[in-house]
C-alpha cells in the first residue's frame, strides 16, 4: 500500500516566544522542518509528503528550500485555525493507502520507530507511538487541591500517528471540538480502538527555547 505523511507546520509557535516560527529555526545547520522531512524519507524514499503551511509562510519556505538546496518532492496544503483544521486540509491531498500525521516540529523520530508505526497498520487501523512517564503525576481537583494519578496507567503520546487513510478521512468529517488535541482523539471519537506502539524519549516536540537546546544535544549524540 502507498505510504503518505501529512507534516503539519501551520502553527504560530507562541510558546517559543520568538518571531521566526519554530519549524524554520535552524538546528544542527538546517531548519527543524527539513530534519522532519529527512526522517520520513529515510524510512521510505517513495513516501508521498504533504506539507501544511499557512499561506503567509509558503513563500518563505520555498525560499528556504532554494537556499538549502532542499529538493525532496512534496505538495503544500494551507494551514488552518487549529491543528485539527490543518490536518483536515492536508487530508484533502491524500488519495489512498496508509497515512501518517506528523508534527513538523518533531524532527528526531528514528527510522525504526517510524517503521514500527507503519508496520503495525498491517494489523491495526490506528497506531500511535507512546512513552511512559518518568515523573509522578497529579490531577488537579481545583486551584488548591490535587490527587495522585497511577502513572502505570498513563502514556505520553507522540507522532507519527498512523492510520488507514479511509478511516482518518471519515473521522475528520466530524465537527471540531477542543478535546481533539491529536489525530488519535479524532479517530477514537468514532469508536475505533487506538493501538499503542513504543515511542522514543528523543522524539521530542520542539515547543519551548529549552527544547531547542535539548534538540542540539540529541543531534550531537546521533
Ligand X SMILES: C[C@](O)(CO)[C@H](O)COP(=O)(O)O
Ligand Y SMILES: Nc1ccn([C@@H]2O[C@H](COP(=O)(O)OP(=O)(O)OP(=O)(O)O)[C@@H](O)[C@H]2O)c(=O)n1
Binder among 36, 159, 165, 203 for ligand X (CB under 6 A): 159
**Residue 111 CB partners (closer than 8 Å, separation 6+):** 39, 42, 43
Among ligand Y, ligand X, none, the one that 52 touches (CB under a kind-dependent 5 to 8 A) is ligand Y
Q: Which does 82 bind (CB under 5 to 8 A by kind): ligand Y, ligand X, none?
A: ligand Y
What value, to the nearest 5°, has the Cα angle with vertex 218 and ends 214 and 222?
170
Among 37, 182, 187, 199, binds ligand X (CB under 6 A): 182
**211 near ligand X, judged by CB under 6 A:** no
d(CA 98, CA 107): 20
Q: Sign of the C-alpha dihedral, residues 115, 80, 55, 24? A: negative
Residues 6+ apart with CB under 8 A from 94: 4, 6, 48, 50, 165, 169
Cα–Cα distance list, 39 to 36, 69, 135 (Å): 5, 17, 28
Q: How many angstroms separate the CA atoms of 29 and 33, rounded? A: 12
8 Å CB contact between 65 and 21 = no
User: Which residues from 153-192 bind ligand Y, rule CB under 6 A?
Assistant: none
**Contact between 169 and ligand X per CB under 6 A:** no
Interface with ligand Y, residue 215, by CB under 6 A: no
Distance of closest approach, residue 62 Cβ to ligand X, in angstroms: 25
CB of 141 to ligand Y, least distance (A): 26
Q: How far is the CB of 83 from ligand X (least distance, A)?
A: 5
Contacting residue, 77, 103, 129, 187, with ligand Y by CB under 6 A: 103
* Span from 43-51, 101-109, 129-137, 196-204 in contact with ligand Y (CB under 6 A): 101-109
Question: Smaller CB distance to ligand Y: residue 43 or 84?
Answer: 84
Q: Per the structure block, which three cell numbers stand in for 157?
A: 503520546
Binding site for ligand X (CB under 6 A): 83, 103, 157-159, 181-182, 205
Amino acid at each position: 500500500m502507498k505510504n503518505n505523511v501529512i507534516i503539519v507546520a501551520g502553527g504560530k509557535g507562541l510558546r517559543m516566544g520568538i518571531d521566526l516560527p519554530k519549524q524554520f529555526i535552524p538546528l544542527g545547520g538546517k531548519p527543524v522542518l527539513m530534519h522532519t522531512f529527512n526522517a520520513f524519507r529515510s524510512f521510505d524514499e517513495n513516501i508521498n509528503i504533504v506539507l501544511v503551511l499557512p499561506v503567509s509562510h509558503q513563500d518563505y519556505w520555498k525560499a528556504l528550500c532554494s537556499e538549502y538546496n532542499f529538493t525532496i518532492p512534496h505538495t503544500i496544503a494551507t494551514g488552518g485555525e487549529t491543528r485539527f483544521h490543518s490536518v483536515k486540509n492536508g487530508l484533502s491531498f491524500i488519495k489512498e493507502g496508509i497515512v501518517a500525521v506528523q508534527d513538523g516540529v518533531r524532527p528526531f523520530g528514528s527510522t525504526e520507530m517510524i517503521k514500527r508505526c507503519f508496520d503495525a497498520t498491517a494489523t491495526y487501523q490506528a497506531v500511535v507511538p507512546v512513552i511512559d512517564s518518568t515523573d509522578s503525576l497529579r490531577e488537579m481537583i481545583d486551584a488548591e487541591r490535587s490527587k495522585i494519578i497511577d502513572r502505570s496507567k498513563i502514556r505520553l503520546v507522540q507522532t507519527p500517528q498512523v492510520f488507514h487513510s479511509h478511516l482518518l478521512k471519515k473521522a475528520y468529517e466530524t465537527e471540531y471540538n477542543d478535546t481533539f488535541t491529536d489525530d488519535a482523539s479524532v479517530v477514537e471519537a468514532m469508536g475505533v480502538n487506538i493501538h499503542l506502539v513504543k515511542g522514543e524519549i528523543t522524539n521530542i516536540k520542539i515547543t519551548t527555547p529549552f527544547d531547542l537546546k535539548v534538540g542540539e544535544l540529541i543531534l550531537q549524540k546521533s
